[in-house]
Amino acid sequence: MIWLTWRQFRAQAITAAAALAVLAIVLLVTGIGLAHAYNDAGLPGCHGGGCAGAASLFIDEAKANIYHLVFYAGVFLVYAAPALIGVFWGAPLITREIEAGTFRLAWNQSVTRRRWLAVKLGLIGLAAIATSGLLSLMVGWWSSPIYAAAQQAAGSNSLSISRLDPPMFGAQGIVPMGYAAFAFALGVTLGALIRRTVPAMAATLAVFAGVQLAWADVIRQHLIAPVRSLTPLNVSAINELSITSNQTMTVVAAAKVKSTAWVLSNQTLTSAGKPFTGPPTNACISGTTQQCNAWLASKHLQQLVSYQPASRFWEFQWYETAIFLAVGLALAALCSWLIRSKRIA
């Protein structure tokens, strides 16, 4: 069974290995240059007031170079890899046997259906996890100077990024391995249910993309209770003030948290603890900025910030990876039940 599985899977395995090898060369060549630029900027071990400016300059130079494109290309590839695995490795695993009619031979030999599926899922699933893990490791190594400089710049640069930001979180650490396991099992399950390769591939891509978007925007922030900070509103730090046509007012000040934190919400409250909506005074409608700020200060407003500190990065990584691995195992168990109960025949 192992040899047969390898023979059926070797084309995909060779393609993935070749792609990883090419990417490794590109990341190695450009990564060495990026690391040298980071060292030349004097940022390793830098402490003091001049570090933020040096880090900001380093990031500005990276943006003007090819490093900027490589960084976002790497993020895209880490996100794309699990989806491609689910579409091209998972979805056809059972459907190609059904469409070719070979399932009648494959599932009526001395090898039981359970063992047939276990070997397929085990070997190809491990290959999927290893592929995404290696890709994440390579991209993480390459981008480490960028994240380190962004942290040192403390929000003073035009490329303010955090490892906890939803667009960046899933492209680092061990989470891509959980995504790969889930995407592969999802593809196999949808293939077993739909029984047609192309529709199963399309459904796998749509479901996986939907789960990824919903997870990043809605679910992840609730895995760990956020930190809430309530402080008096600093009118000198206001960076957004809007007045609508129905005379409601919104005031948002710069959050008093580290730039590497993941800010979930930033609200301005009245002294009674309710959301501040105005109504605005003439000082803010037709007066100067100083007059508007003085009026806001007289209201004794408060700023409520809900955020996830950067120190929770690995805690989120482990939680999310465990959840996606568990869902992947549950989907594999569903596939096993479908095949053993002869609901696919």
- For the CA atoms of 128, 130, 135, 136, the dihedral, rounded to the nearest 10 degrees, stands at 110
The pLDDT value recorded for residue 158 is 46
pLDDT at residue 343 in the model: 57
Q: How far is CA 244 from CA 270, 274, 278, 285, in A?
A: 19, 19, 10, 11
**Least confident interval from 30-34, 154-158, 266-270, 319-323:** 154-158
pLDDT in tens, 124-168: 999 999 999 999 999 999 999 988 888 877 655 445 677 888 889
Does the bond joining 280 to the residue before it have cis omega, within 30 degrees of 0?
no
Residues in a beta bridge with 243? 249
Average confidence (pLDDT) over 170-174: 94
CA distance 345 to 343: 6
> Residue 304: beta bridge partners?
230, 267
Output the six-digit token pair for 317: 């990584």
